[in-house]
């Protein structure tokens, strides 16, 4: 099985409106509620692809109960299992406002609950048990209040000690600390990578991130696709044309594809083609954690993957 960790889970609300106008009242034409948080989105995509997945992290309060009920309902026909740790605080909510006129999305994220030391200890104990039997683990998203900034570094070291490949998808200081623990793969976007390395050149920054400790770095370039620095080569993968829609969760679908490629041991061009196609198909879906299957199958053979020429 694949283990995904979401320390800052959420209930995702998506509002569709005809057009977003500042300082105006809006009539919502559609409301969609889904279990959220990066690792849960990854797990749901993996489940849709047929991979057995276990989700862990925290869930608490009435929102946490809603989250678990939504997870059970949306994954009822998928091999996704709930191993979330209960907490006293209330799970957060996120709101995505989709402007139907432009296709743009405005995201509002609540802060997460404060995690007590005993709750963190309960989580790490469960995480350690779940590593036994895991084929890969993904550590995803922000840290809720109360958890120390080196938490992901600690979890990376536990996974490496158990011999489980680990993918880290976070940002800021948690990423800086986590990469020093030498994860097998990180997946920043261009802005997160620039903050980590100080370079706005994706080629230079991706290679620099490898030198900081990551075995492989896959950088999201938004509509331009992915740039991957592996020990063997530098690869670039791009869609045939930009797609418009709701980008929320597109990076999580990239993570899902990279994990699937890891456990299936496919070559890097194949992994990256699937990652770009799945990400684009997620943009075309109305909510995170889901993708347009027809678009995915149609786009996959059209993804351009080539060995990139490093910049000076």
Q: Where are the beta strands (DSSP E) in 43-190?
A: 53-60, 80-82, 85-87, 92-99, 105-109, 136-140, 166-169, 185-186
Strand ranges across the sheet with 30-36: 30-36, 10-17, 92-99, 105-109
**CA-CA distances (angstroms) from residue 95 to 11, 168, 182?**
9, 24, 34
Give me the phi and psi of 73, to 5 degrees please: -75, -45
Cα radius of gyration (the chain): 18
What DSSP line would sit under 173-206, residue for residue?
A: HHHHHHHTT--SEE--BHHHHHHHHS---HHHHH
Options 12, 169, 252, 292, the catalytic residue:
252
Give the SS3 label for residue 75: coil
The dihedrals phi and psi of 148, each to the nearest 5 degrees, come to -65, 150
How far from each other are the two terminal CA atoms of the chain, in whole angstroms? 41
CA dist 45 and 289 (Å) reads 6
User: Does the annotation count 104 as an active-site position?
Assistant: no
Residue 21: partners with Cβ closer than 8 Å, 6 or more residues away? none
Active site residues: 252
């Amino acid at each position: 099985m694949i283990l995904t960790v979401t320390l800052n889970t959420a209930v995702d609300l998506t509002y569709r409106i005809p057009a977003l106008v500042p300082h105006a009242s809006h009539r919502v034409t559609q409301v969609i509620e889904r279990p959220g948080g990066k690792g849960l989105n990854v797990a749901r995509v993996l489940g849709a692809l047929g991979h057995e997945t276990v989700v862990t992290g925290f869930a608490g309060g009435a929102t946490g109960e809603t989250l678990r009920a939504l997870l059970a309902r949306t994954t009822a026909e998928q091999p996704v299992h709930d191993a979330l740790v209960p907490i006293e605080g209330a799970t957060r909510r996120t709101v995505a406002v989709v402007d139907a006129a432009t296709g743009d999305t405005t995201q509002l994220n609540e802060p997460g609950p404060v995690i007590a030391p005993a709750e963190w200890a309960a989580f790490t104990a469960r995480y350690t048990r779940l590593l036994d039997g895991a084929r890969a683990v993904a550590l995803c998203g922000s840290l809720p209040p109360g958890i120390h900034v080196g938490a992901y570094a600690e979890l990376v070291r536990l996974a490496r000690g158990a011999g489980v490949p680990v993918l880290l998808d976070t940002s800021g200081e948690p990423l800086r600390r986590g990469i020093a623990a030498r994860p097998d793969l990180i997946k920043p976007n261009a802005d997160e990578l620039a903050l980590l390395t100080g370079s706005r050149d994706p080629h230079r920054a991706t290679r620099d991130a490898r030198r900081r400790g990551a075995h492989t770095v896959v950088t999201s370039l938004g509509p331009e696709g992915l740039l991957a620095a592996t020990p063997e080569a530098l690869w670039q993968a791009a869609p045939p044309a930009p797609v418009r829609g709701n980008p929320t969760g597109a990076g999580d679908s990239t993570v899902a594809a990279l994990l699937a490629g890891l456990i299936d041991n496919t070559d890097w061009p194949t992994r990256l083609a699937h990652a770009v196609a799945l990400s684009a198909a997620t943009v075309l879906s109305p909510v995170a954690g889901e993708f347009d299957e027809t678009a995915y199958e149609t786009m996959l053979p059209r993804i351009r993957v080539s060995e990139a020429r490093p910049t000076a």
